[in-house]
Amino acid sequence: MIDSNAPGFWPQLFETLLKATGETLFQVAITMVITLVVGLAAGTLLVVTDRGGILERPFGSLIAGRIVNAVLQAVVNLGRSIPFIILMIALIPFTRLLLGSAFGVTAAIVPLTVAAIPFYARIVEISLREVNEGLVEAGHSLGATRWQLVSKVIVPEAVPGLIRGFTTTVVSIVNYSAIVGAIGGGGLGDVAIRYGHQRYSVIHIVTVIIVLVAIVQIVQVVGARLANRMSHR
């Protein structure tokens, strides 16, 4: 049991929280940067290789398009259907192979990224599908190449949705980053478990919750503002 009246308790709590918050933000930031790139690419591929999509026949082969699309769909579905806590444990050997260690703040980025990419890819897919078919047609009529259609028409038109989806993904990953604390992933989850759960410190639990709520709030507000700013409808 931790005594909150002990000398040096509050400064120590502050220091612990600061360090843990930094770790959580670091994990989430790196995860989200990778997710933005890979998720955007995967989500875009899901849309363009679908039937009737602009890359329905990569290299002139309809079969290639069907295969790419089916594989991507399967991977995304698989990633989305495994509960994070199981995914995290199942990935331990893979993480060790990749980084030499399966535990710690940096190692936790691996399962977080593996969970975040399919999540965001699906959101990207939904956002891009909402872009009016007529705009793609207008792009075709201007003689745009497939890459120009994606980079100048489809993705820019979907930006507000992509930002809102990204916000949702960040919130989920903040949530998951607390779970990795349970297997030595550090961060705010680690503080809550080690001090709050194992040493019965209510103050630690409460302060961790406050910090998490604050992070989520800030992400939500910034995301919503940015999305509205980019929306000219």
* DSSP category for residue 58: G
* Nearest approach, Cβ of residue 133 and other proteins (Å): 9
CA distance 149 to 132: 13
165, 126 contact by CB (below 8 A): yes
Residues 83-122 within binding reach of other proteins (CB under 8 A)? none
Residue in 4, 61, 101, 148 binding other proteins, rule: CB under 8 A: 148
When asked if residue 52 is in the footprint of other proteins (CB under 8 A), the reply is: no
Compute CA 9 distance to the chain's CA centroid, rounded to the nearest angstrom.
Answer: 35
Measured from the CB atom, the residue of 93 and 156 that comes closer to other proteins is: 156
When asked if residue 152 is in the footprint of other proteins (CB under 8 A), the reply is: yes
CA distance 31 to 137: 35
The residues, any chain, with a CB within 8 Å of residue 139's CB and separated by 6 or more, are 148, 149, 152, 153
Residue in 99, 144, 171, 226 binding other proteins, rule: CB under 8 A: 144
Residue in 41, 142, 209, 213 binding other proteins, rule: CB under 8 A: 142
When asked if residue 61 is in the footprint of other proteins (CB under 8 A), the reply is: no
Count Cβ atoms within 10 A of the Cβ of residue 147 and give its class: 0-12 exposed, 13-18 middle, 19 or more buried.
exposed
105, 95 contact by CB (below 8 A): no
* Nearest approach, Cβ of residue 103 and other proteins (Å): 44
Measured from the CB atom, the residue of 128 and 191 that comes closer to other proteins is: 128
* Nearest approach, Cβ of residue 60 and other proteins (Å): 9
Which residues are at the interface with other proteins (CB under 8 A)? Answer: 132, 134-135, 137-145, 148, 152-153, 156-157, 159, 230-233
